Chain A
């Protein structure tokens, strides 16, 4: 399970960083989303991966660490709000600046 988890994290982060560097708002937002998924999974794993262990003491022989789960919940909520904001901002910028480059101007515009 650890190996699969680690590979998933790696793939998510790689894709996220690649998309972030694409410099178009839509891909950047997708990249940010993937990156925040990777981060949330990573944060969850900081409490160690345990199978069939609820986060309540006494229900099972071993209990999972509840704190990372709480942290992840908070991080998901914040990440969700931020993504919503950046989507609206990107739409606003695309309408006002008439292109979707993160710099607000298309570097190839003059060439065409």
Chain B
């Protein structure tokens, strides 16, 4: 058994605990510890990508008990992609935070590590109850991170965010109780077999449980009727925290992929059709609302929060086709949109600090410091965000449109996606022209910190590289989609041999 697989959870957990215990140690040491841990997570992410790239499922049993009885961690291509993305994003956010944000409240670094531990745990676990526990770990860390820095706006946004997520947790537990009561297991692979062989009389209850899970993941991912907490929460959080939260909605999407393409996907009439039927119209409406919200925002951070919603809508609408091409395209867009929304949250802070008044609000007018440098950066980032060539946004959107063209409902997605993109284009052009074009240079610009600027520029550059060298990435994602659509391999890898065939043989 390869013990490395537990490290993405254990490393940040221990680091965070250490930072809490020795909080009186010099601040530089805490920062250094955080960097060391996150840097190792990046290396681990690369290792995971490489191991999972062989197409094998890597299994780790923390208690040493075989699968349906003991807890398992499973690494497949999807988990590896999410782990690597989280680690890289976490590293960038931590770098940005150490330009001063981390000193505005207590225990930033410890909370950050706990957040990463929860995220990594959610991506690795092969058990629904552990998914719940990991959700709670990442949520409680995110509650505290959201409030980091204090202030009225954060308290207001925090209340909504915390309460809706607590209700979500209660619903999650109800769904888990129903599933356990019917199937007698919560291991995802075992549950998939049990659900496939459940008697028809159990089907309505199982469908109810699957819909409850969709609601829970919908709260996390911010699907239409459940997303109204998001704009306020994301725009109130401090910049590096909001940037890290770009991955949080993607956890919901990961859970939707994992649960509905594995647990409810088997059997003669797979149960995921019930939930899938809801996904398509809701995703399309989410996408449309995201577009309208982007145009109607009153600050750059709110605009970015609506960009997050827009990306969730696009992702789920594409995923709901459930073909190899559409899943591959959606995963490529997931990487692109996570990176770019993070960049925009950081950029909003970077630009806001250089404005004379109003921070990042559109209503405020006035000169902005370092107009040419920041204007160019914003221009390039906006092009990358909207999805114009030569950046990966263009590649991903082209791929999504291509993948949906063969679908009967594809034209709807074409219309709504292109419409929302046009609205985004108008909104960011308006922002750029009103901030950089009309007002003149500031007489005495505020000092511009090199580090954060280089970091944001580097992240945009990475996005460009993703487009330039997208071929191996796209190939990897296509294989991931194939792996996602054959849950039998996952089950065969997790459960001991014989269990699957024995259950299939029984009536």
* B390 CB to nearest A CB, Å: 44
Whether A93 contacts B158 by the Cβ 8 Å rule is: yes
A104 within 8 A of B: yes
Whether B167 contacts A39 by the Cβ 8 Å rule is: no
Q: Which residues of B contact A90 (CB under 8 A)?
A: 159
Partner of B180, one of A67, A86, A93: A67
Q: Which residues of B contact A35 (CB under 8 A)?
A: 167, 170
Give the residue name and chain of the A residue nearest to B161 (CB): A89
Complex CA–CA separation, A16 to B394 (angstroms): 48
Contact with B along A42-53 (1 / 0, CB 8 A): 110111100000
Whether B181 contacts A93 by the Cβ 8 Å rule is: no
Whether B155 contacts A96 by the Cβ 8 Å rule is: yes
* A14 CB to nearest B CB, Å: 14
Complex CA–CA separation, A102 to B160 (angstroms): 7
Q: Which residues of A contact B129 (CB under 8 A)?
A: 71, 74
| Partner-contacting stretch, out of B171-179, B460-468, B474-482 | B171-179
Contact with B along A68-94 (1 / 0, CB 8 A): 100100110011011001100110110
Whether A85 contacts B143 by the Cβ 8 Å rule is: yes
Complex CA–CA separation, A81 to B178 (angstroms): 24
Q: How many residues of B contact A (CB 8 A)?
A: 26
B166 within 8 A of A: yes
B430 within 8 A of A: no
Q: Which residues of B contact A75 (CB under 8 A)?
A: 173
Contact with A along B129-161 (1 / 0, CB 8 A): 100010010001001000100011001101110
Dominant secondary structure at the B interface: helix
Complex CA–CA separation, A30 to B84 (angstroms): 40
* B144 CB to nearest A CB, Å: 8
A97 within 8 A of B: yes
From 392 to 442 in chain B, residues with beta carbon under 8 angstroms from any chain A beta carbon are none
Complex CA–CA separation, A36 to B159 (angstroms): 18
Complex CA–CA separation, A97 to B151 (angstroms): 10
Q: Which residues of A contact B155 (CB under 8 A)?
A: 89, 92-93, 96-97, 104
Give the residue name and chain of the A residue nearest to B165 (CB): A82
Complex CA–CA separation, A45 to B173 (angstroms): 12
Given contacts A85-B140, A103-B156, contact A43 B167 (CB under 8 A): no
Given contacts A93-B158, A102-B163, contact A46 B152 (CB under 8 A): no
B323 within 8 A of A: no
Complex CA–CA separation, A48 to B180 (angstroms): 10
B169 within 8 A of A: yes
Whether A45 contacts B170 by the Cβ 8 Å rule is: no
Give the residue name and chain of the A residue nearest to B144 (CB): A85
Give the residue name and chain of the B residue nearest to A68 (CB): B180
B6 within 8 A of A: no
Whether A32 contacts B133 by the Cβ 8 Å rule is: no
Q: Which residues of B contact A25 (CB under 8 A)?
A: 159
Given contacts A35-B167, A74-B133, contact A45 B159 (CB under 8 A): no
Complex CA–CA separation, A43 to B152 (angstroms): 37
Whether A39 contacts B174 by the Cβ 8 Å rule is: yes
Whether A42 contacts B177 by the Cβ 8 Å rule is: yes
Give the residue name and chain of the B residue nearest to A101 (CB): B159
Name the 10 nearest CB pairs between A and B, nearest first.
A46-B181, A104-B156, A46-B177, A93-B155, A43-B177, A46-B180, A39-B173, A39-B170, A42-B177, A78-B136
Q: A46-B178, A47-B181 are in contact. List 16 more A-B contacts (CB 8 A).
A: A20-B163, A35-B170, A36-B166, A39-B174, A42-B174, A43-B176, A46-B180, A81-B140, A82-B169, A85-B162, A89-B147, A90-B159, A93-B155, A96-B151, A102-B163, A103-B160
Q: Can you pick out 6 interface pairs between chain A and chain B where the beta carbons lie within 8 Å of each other?
A: A45-B181, A47-B180, A71-B176, A71-B180, A85-B162, A97-B152
